[in-house]
Structure 1
Amino acid sequence: MPPKVYASQACRACRRLKRKCTREVPTCALCYRLGKNCEYAETAASDSTISTRLSHIEQILHVDGVSPSRSLPGISPAAFFPRPAEAFPLPFFLDSEYLSPQGLNSLSWSQNPQLHQVVAEHLDDDRVALCEEYLKTVHKWLPIVSRKRLLNELNSDPAEVDGCLAIFLLCIKAFSTKDGECAKTSSWYLLARSLCSEAESAGFVSLRLVQSLVLLAVYELSHAIYPGAYLTLGRASRLGILLGIHDRKNNQLFKPAETWTLREEQRRTSWAIFLLDRLMNIETNLPFTVPEPVQDELLPINDEDWDEGKIVPSEPLFTLSFSSLTAVGSFAKMCQAAHMLGKVLSHRASKRSLQDVGSLLPEAVALHSALSALHLSIKEYISGTTSSDFSISGIISLSLCCSAQLLLYNMYGCNEPLVLIEQSRIAMETEMQSVSLHGIKSISFDVMPAIARANIECPLITQCLYHVATECAWFVREDHEPQMYSALEDVVRELKSTGEKWRIAMEYLALLQQAGVLSLITVDTDGSSTLTPSSG
C-alpha cells in the first residue's frame, strides 16, 4: 500500500469553515465525507497534485492525436534533449579576457536518437521531397537557405550534420498547414516551437537553429500569431548576434565561417531577420530588435547564382554605384527596400520627438529621392526578368519600397502646417506636401493594384495592400473617382485570395470591414465586382 501524501497546509474548504483538516492528498477526510471538491493552495500542491495538473494540461493541448507527452516523452523534453558538443563558454559573458574563439560547430553538433525518432514521427519519409517543396514555395519569398548545402546535409551521415537540422525540417513541415484556423494548434508548429525552446535552453547556438526561429516567425506572421511572431523574431535576432552573423568584425564567440557558401547563407539569414523586424515595426513604436547594418555590409548575391550554387562577387550596401560585372538580384532589392523602410521608421521616430519639423525636412526630401530611385530600379528589374520565380521576390521588394514611401508621404501629406509651434510655413514644407500627395495617389491608383493583379498570394505584402486599401477608400470618399474604386477592388480581391492560405490577410480584411472600407465595394467570390458609391 503506497504511503499517504499530505499537503503542507489545510485545504481551502476547511480554512473557510475554520475546521481541522487532515491535509490528505488528493482529498481530505472532511471533503471526502461531504462529497465536496478538495482544493489546496498553489503553494501547497504536492507532487501527485502537480502530476495530475500536468496530465490535465497535456489533455487540453492534445492536437490531432499528438500530445506533449507523446511527442516529447515524459513531462519535459529537457530530460532527453541532447547537449551541444561543448558547453557554452561562460567567459563570453563573465570576463572576455579569458575567452578563446570557438569552432563554428562547437555549440551545434550533437546527436540523440530519441530526438530524431520524435521528429521522424511527424515528417514524411522523403525529406528531400519535403525540402524541394519548400524551395518551390516559401524559399521564393525569403531565399535564405543554400539548396546545395541543404541537400548535402540530407544525404550525409546524421552524426556529421548540425543537430538542429531535424528541428529545421520540422519548421519547414509546419508550412504545410494551409488552414489559418488551425495554424495555432498545428502539431508540427507546436512541436517545432517546443523543440526550438529546448535547443536554446540546452545551449545550442547554430545557423540551423537561427533559421528555424526565422521560419517560425514567418509562419506566425503569416497566420497573425501575435505577439508570438515578434517574440520569436527577437529570439532569432539575439541568437544570430551570438553567432556573429550581424557583424563579423566584432564577433568574439566563434571563428569565421570556413566556406563561402556558409558565409553567404549567414548573410542572407541576417538580412531576413532585419527585413522581418522592419516589416513588423511599421505599425508599432517599439524599439528595433535588429541593429542597423554595419558600414561595410554586403548585399546578398543574385538569386539565380545562389540557387545554382555558384560563387560570385557581392555588392556593398553603401555605395555610390554598382559594378557592371555583377547583377543585383531580387532578394538584394528586398534588403535595400527593408533598409530604406528602417530609415523612414527612424525618421518618423525623430519627427515625433521634435517640435521643429523644419530641421527634418531636408532628410525627408533625401529619403524621397532615394526611395524614388529604388522604386524605379525595382520596376526596371521586374520588367527585365524572365523568371517568374525571381519576379515574385521582385514584387515583394517593390511592395516594401511602397510601404516605406507611404509611411514617409503620410507624414508630410497633411494640408495643415506640420510644425507644432508658431512659425511661418517654409517653401520646402509645401513642396514636400505636394510630392507626398502625388506619391500616395500614384502608389494607390497605379502601383499596388498592379501588384495585386499579379496574384502572388504572399503574406509579406499584405500590410502594404491593407495600407493602400485605406488610402483608396479616402480618395473614394473624397471625389468618387471610378478608377480609384477599381483600384480598391483589385487590392481587396488580392487580400481575399491571400486569406485563403494565410490568416494575416483575413485579419486585415476584418479591419477594413470595421473601418467601413469594404462597404464601398462588393467583390464576389467568383472575382466579379460591383461599385457601391458612398453618399459622400
Structure 2
Amino acid sequence: MSTRYAPQACVPCRTLKRKCTKELPACSLCRQLRKECGYPSPLRIRSARPEEVTVLSDRVKLLEQRLNGDGREGIGLDHASQPLAQGASLALEVTSTHRLEFPAAFFLELENYRPMPPDHLNPEMFVPLDVFHFLESKDSMQALLGKYLTGTQTWLPMLWKRRTAEKVTSFDENMESGLVLLLLCMKLVTETPSTQDHAASTALYRTAKGLCFRLENSCAMSLQLLQSVVLIAVYELGHGIFPGAQLTITHAARLGIIMGLHDRKHAPQLFKDPDTYNMREEERRTWWAIVILERYMNIGTYGQPLATPEPLQGTLLPSSEDAWNNQGGRLGSNVPLFTSTINLNTEIGAYASTCQAAHILGLVIRHRDEQNSVVADTHYRITEAQRLHSTLVLLSLHLSGQSTIDVHNVSSVFTAMGLCYAARVTLYNMYACNEHYSATEARIAEETEMQQASIEGLKEVTQCVYQLAQNIFDVAAMDDQLISRSLLLTHSLYFAASELGWFIREMNFIEDVQFLKVVVKLLKLMSKTWRVAEYYLKILEEDGSLASLTT
C-alpha cells in the first residue's frame, strides 16, 4: 500500500523548524524520537489577505533582484540562493564571507594600534527576510520606536532619542546592521511573549539571538550592538531565562570593556572619541546600564565575581533627564560619582540616582561575598557595614523625596528605590542574626549595635516597599503601563514578602498581613508582563511565606 503524505509539516516539526517527512499518520522524525505527531487541521488554514500577498510578492521581487547579481554585496547576500523551504532561518545562519577584519594589534601589540572611527566595525547588510517579518514596514518601525521610548527607555534610558529616530526615519535595506539588530531587540523587550510559549523558545527571541551571534561572528563591534546585547539581557532577566541572563550580562560587560567604556582615561580605546557630547553621554549611559543589570543579577546569588569593575574616582554620573532629552535646548552637566563635598544645588537626574543605588548595591554585594572569601578584621567589617547602612538610609530618604518631585520620571526613581531597598535587605540579613558567628572568635560590642540596626532596618524596609507598592498602584491608575516598567523592583518585592512572612510567623501582626497582600498583589500583576515574578511567587509559596494569606 502506498504511503500517504500530509500537505503540511507536522506541528512538532514546524515548532522546532525541522524538515518534516510528512508521512501519515506520523512522520519518520516523530516516530524515531517517539514523540506524538500531529498535523494542523485544513479547516484552520485561512486564505492569505491581499496585503499579505502584496508584501510577499515584494519580498520575492527583492530576492530575485539580489539573485540576479545587481553588483551589491552584503552579509546576507550569499544566503539568498539557498531555498527558504529548507526551514533554516537566515538570521541564525553564520556566513563566512564578508567578514570584517578586526585589528589584531589591539590584542597582540597595543602600542602599534590606533583607535578606529566608531562605525568602522559596523558593516552594511541586506536585512534578512526573516527579520523583515518582525520589522515589517517603516511605519511599524516608527511605532515600535515610540512604544520603546515610552516603555523601557523610561527606566533604562541609554538610547539617544534624536539620533535613533533619525536612523529609523532613514531606514533602507542597506542600513547599518547594528540598527537592524537594535530594532529587533527593542521589539523583543516591548512585547510580552505568549503564555503558551516558553520565553526562550519564541521566534522573535531566537531570531534576535541568532542575528546577534551572526554579526559578532562577522567581527561587528559597535555601540548599537552593545545596546542590543543589553536589551537581550533585559528580556532574559525579565522572563527568568537562566543561566542565559547571567551569561548575556557578562558578555555585555566584556564587550564594553573591549571598547574601553569602563575607563576612558587609562583603558585602551577601540574607537576614537565621540564627535559630540550626546554621543559620549550615550556611551556612558549604556555602560551604566550594564553595571545596573549585573549588580541586580547578583543580588540573589553569591560568590561570583562581578564582570564589571568598580567605578573609578573620576567616574561621572549620567546627566539629568531634561538635559538628555534636550528640553530647553541645553546640554547637560555630569556630576561625579565620588565627591569630597556635597552641593545641594546640583541637579541629579533619576537615572543618575539609579546608578548611585546600583553602585552602593555593588559595594554591599562585595561586602557580603568577602565575608566567606577572606579573613577580615571583625572591627573593620562591622565599621564598613555601619557605613553602608548609613549611606543606604540617606539614599532612601533622598529617593523618597525625589519620587514626589520628579513625577515625569517615576519609573526610573522607583527603580532606584527598588535597588536601594534590595541592598538594605541584603546587608541586614547578614547581621540580623549573630548566632552563626564562630564561638572561638572574639566578639565586640559593635556587633550587637549592627544587629539591632539590621532588625529595625528590615522592619523599616518592608514598610518602605509596601508604601512603594501603594505608590505604584496610585500612579498606575493614571499610567497603566507603569507596572510593566518596574522590572528591577521584583527582587525588593520578593525580599519584602519574605521578611513579612517571617514577621507574621514570629509576631502575627495584622498590619503585616495587609502589607504582604499588597506586595504579593503587585508581584502577581507584574508576572503578566515579566515571568520572573512568577518564579519569585513560587519560591515564596514553597518556603511558606504566603501561608498567612490562605488561612
Q: Same-fold call, TM > 0.5?
A: yes
What's the CA shift for 1:79? Answer: 2.7
User: Given that residues 230 and 280 in structure 1 are in contact (C-alpha distance below 8 angstroms), is that contact kept between their aligned partners in structure 2?
Assistant: yes
1:330 match = 350
The alpha carbon displacement at 1:254 in A equals 1.6
Classify 1:513/1:135 alpha carbon distance in 2 versus 1 (closer, same or farther; 3 Å).
Answer: same
Map of 1:412 onto structure 2: 431
Structure 1 pair 69–251 and aligned structure 2 pair: CA distance change class (3 A): farther
Residue among 188, 192, 195 paired with 1:174: 188
2:273 is aligned to 256
In structure 2, the partner of 1:130 is 144
SS at match of 1:100: coil
Q: Within 2, Cα distance between the matches of 1:287 and 1:424?
A: 29
Q: Distance in 1 between matches of 2:225 and 2:323?
A: 25
Counterpart check, 1:426 vs 2:444: yes
Q: Which of 521, 525, 529 is the matching residue for 1:493?
A: 521
Shift of residue 163, structure 1, vs aligned partner: 2.2
Aligned counterpart in structure 1 of residue 229 of structure 2, from 206, 210, 213: 213
Q: How far apart are the structure 2 equivalents of 1:461 and 1:171?
A: 22
Instruction: State the secondary structure of the residue aligned to 2:233.
Output: helix
**Identity over aligned residues, as a percent?**
37
> Shift of residue 425 of structure 1?
3.0
The answer for unaligned runs of 5 or more in structure 2 is: 1-16, 22-28, 31-39, 46-83, 474-481
Match of 2:402 in 1: 381
The 3 A distance-change label for structure 1 pair 485 and 81 is farther
- 1:120 aligned to 95, 119, 132, which one? 132
1:152–1:409: structure 2 CA closer, same or farther, 3 Å change rule? same
1:267–1:68 CA distance, 2 compared to 1 (3 A)? farther
Query: Bigger shift: 97-106 or 468-477?
Result: 97-106
Are 2:465 and 1:462 aligned? no
Could you state the TM-score of these two structures normalised by the residue count of structure 1? 0.80
User: Does residue 439 in structure 1 map to residue 425 in structure 2?
Assistant: no
Distance 1:89 1:423, change over 3 A: closer
RMSD of aligned C-alpha atoms? 2.5
- Aligned pair partner of 1:479 in 507, 511, 517: 507
Q: Is the 8 A contact 2:320 2:349 kept in 1?
A: yes
Q: Unpaired runs of 5+ in structure 1?
A: 1-52, 523-531
Aligned residue in 2 for 1:351 = 371
How far did residue 83 of structure 1 move?
4.0
Q: Which of 403, 410, 413 lines up with 1:394 in the alignment?
A: 413
Give the equivalent residue in structure 2 for 1:299.
317
Q: 1:392 to 1:359 in 2, by over 3 A?
A: same
Offset of 1:208 from its aligned partner?
0.5
Deviations 1:335-385 (A, max 9, x none): 000000000011111222337533311111111111111111111111222
Kindly indicate whether the alpha-carbon contact (under 8 Å) linking 1:465 and 1:495 is maintained by their aligned counterparts in 2.
yes
TM-score using structure 2 length: 0.78
Q: Measure, in 2, the Cα distance between the counterparts of 1:440 and 1:181.
A: 38
Q: Quick one: distance in 2 between partners of 1:426 and 1:204?
A: 56
Supply the AA of the counterpart residue of 1:255.
K
Paired position in structure 2 for 1:89: 103
State the alpha-carbon separation in 1 of the partners of residues 439 and 549 from structure 2.
41
Given that 1:448 and 1:468 are in contact with CA atoms closer than 8 Å, whether structure 2 keeps it comes out as yes
Provide the rounded CA distance (Å) in 2 between the counterparts of 1:465 and 1:245: 32
Give CA-to-partner distance per residue, 1:90-126, whole Å, 9 cap, x none.
0111122321221221111x2222x354422211312
- Whether the 8 Å CA contact 1:278–1:341 is kept in 2: the answer is yes
Whole-Å separation in 2 of the counterparts to 1:451 and 1:81: 53
